[in-house]
Amino acid sequence: MVKNSQENVFLGNEMISKKDGILHIDGYKIEEIAEKYGTPLYIMSETQIKNNFEKYTQAFNRYTEETGKEVIFSFAYKANTNLAITTLLNKMGCGADVVSSGELYIAKLSKVPSNKIVFNGNCKLVEEIKMGIETDIRAFNVDGISDLILINETAKEMGKIANVSFRVNPNVDPKTHPKISTGLKKNKFGLDIEDGTALKAIKMALEMENVNVVGIHCHIGSQLTQIDPFIEEANKLMEFIVSLSEEGIKMRDLNIGGGLGIPYDKNTKIPVQDDLAKAVIDTIMTYSDKIELPNLIIEPGRSIVGTSGILVGKTIHRKETKVANWIMIDAGMNDMMRPAIYEAYHEITPCTIREGTEEVLNIAGGLCESSDVFGKDRKIPTIQVGDYVAVLDVGAYGISMANNYNSRGKPAMVLTNENEISLIRERESLSDLIAKDRVPNHLL
């Protein structure tokens, strides 16, 4: 497979380029990758993932320099749990934010140090709590009083002590899609600061024998496109930590969650890691004369892997009606759910760009749902049967939300860098679809 030199940046992925009308990633022709590995196909740029993560470490290094405290990045595994991706991030020093025994299992396989693993979720199961305690994770982020009680009881049965932080709900509007807002009073997550529930839970924990109180946690939402909500969140959290210190309760860690967005379209200006770091650090530092500042934990997901991935499908049919021109590709909503469930916008482009041939097209999959549409009324270069089409910025919540609806196998995934292309997920076969099914004897 022949590499070509890079030309021009396409949206947030610095590794996607166009040369002589042909789309490339990490210098490789996307069409050639698709021909070799088949479609639907996820392509992830290792180079872009590294770039995105390094921007975080560089931006937040100032906090350690000025306070002497740790900054821990715990990648939100919900965004992408592919083992190659999580292993890559571990090698770069990134931890894990997990919400299930499956994600914790992957973190352990990725060799993530236990002191960089945090466990979130508003309905933790006993077996998940046991696994977290056995792994000696940095903290369970307690979501409610019953959650705290279950953690303590489970730890007592095991003869262990579990580290706990408290996920608080600060009632901050993240100004994002309502389905991915998590820090308002009406959301299901966290302990209310304002009505005293959070303080009550912490004081209960201090009386328990099998939990160790280590911090405060908060996550206000995903795909945040403004900095102000982060500032409001940091202020409310620090005010709460100061009030706790006045009662003699010291917190080792402050976990501000994640949520920084990415530029899904050309017209949306998104804050970058430097903007987030400056806002958060400046806010926290204003409290340095009141308390000893805590270690800082951040849970980025989308902003690390989102721009690094594309989904490639092959055009199977064109359908022209009186009201729309449809492009039918072999990727569908089972491969990438975001447009169907959030009406999320993703840039779409043919991998061979015929300049001067723009037309208005609808790009859809072949599933039995009207919501199986990647983009409507897109003015893009013409697409012909047999052309490859790329849906951009799908590295987060793409493969991790893929499913087998319509009995379709989940797609393959490859990882690119400047030296090679590696298969990091095999395409599911027909036999994979029924591998866990069982037919009772009376039906045989």
Q: Which of 94, 123, 218, 368 is catalytic?
A: 368
- Of the candidates 338, 425, 421, 409, the residue with the CA atom closest to the CA atom of residue 85: 425
Residue 301, annotated as binding a ligand: yes
Residue 397, annotated as binding a ligand: yes
The backbone region for 109, taken as left when phi is positive above 0, alpha when psi lies in -120 to 50, beta otherwise, is alpha
Q: At what angle do helices 83-91 and 46-67 cross, to 10 degrees?
A: 40
Query: Can you read off the two tokens belonging to residue 146?
Result: 């019953």
Query: Can you read off the two tokens belonging to residue 276?
Result: 């987030």
What is the spatial distance between Cα 266 and Cα 245, in angstroms, rounded to a whole number? 45
Question: Which residues have C-beta within 8 Å of that of residue 98, sequence separation ≥ 6?
Answer: 77, 104, 106, 107, 117, 118, 119, 120
Q: Is 94 a catalytic residue?
A: no
What is the spatial distance between Cα 334 and Cα 352, in angstroms, rounded to a whole number? 25
Q: Which residues of 215-245 are buried (b: 16+ CB within 10 A; e: fewer)?
A: bbbbbbbbbbbeeebbbbbbbbbbebbeebe
Residue 302, annotated as binding a ligand: yes
What is the spatial distance between Cα 38 and Cα 22, in angstroms, rounded to a whole number? 18
Query: Can you read off the two tokens belonging to residue 197?
Result: 């529930």
- Dihedral (Cα; 191, 195, 201, 203), 10-degree rounding: 150
Chain centroid to Cα 384, Å, comes to 33
E-state strands within 202-346: 211-217, 253-255, 295-298, 309-320, 325-329
What is the spatial distance between Cα 308 and Cα 416, in angstroms, rounded to a whole number? 10
Place of tokens 């991030």: 89
Angstrom distances, CA of residue 7 to CA of 10, 26, 349: 9, 11, 16
Residue 299, annotated as binding a ligand: yes
- Of the candidates 363, 364, 366, the residue with the CA atom closest to the CA atom of residue 407: 366
Is the peptide bond prior to 174 cis by the omega test (within 30 degrees of 0)?
no
Question: Which residues have C-beta within 8 Å of that of residue 66, sequence separation ≥ 6?
Answer: 281, 285
Residue 369, annotated as binding a ligand: yes
Instruction: Cite the active site residues.
Output: 368
Mark the binding-site residues for pyridoxal 5'-phosphate, compressed into ranges.
259, 299-302, 397
Mark the binding-site residues, compressed into ranges.
259, 299-302, 338, 342, 369, 397
Mark the binding-site residues for substrate, compressed into ranges.
302, 338, 342, 369, 397
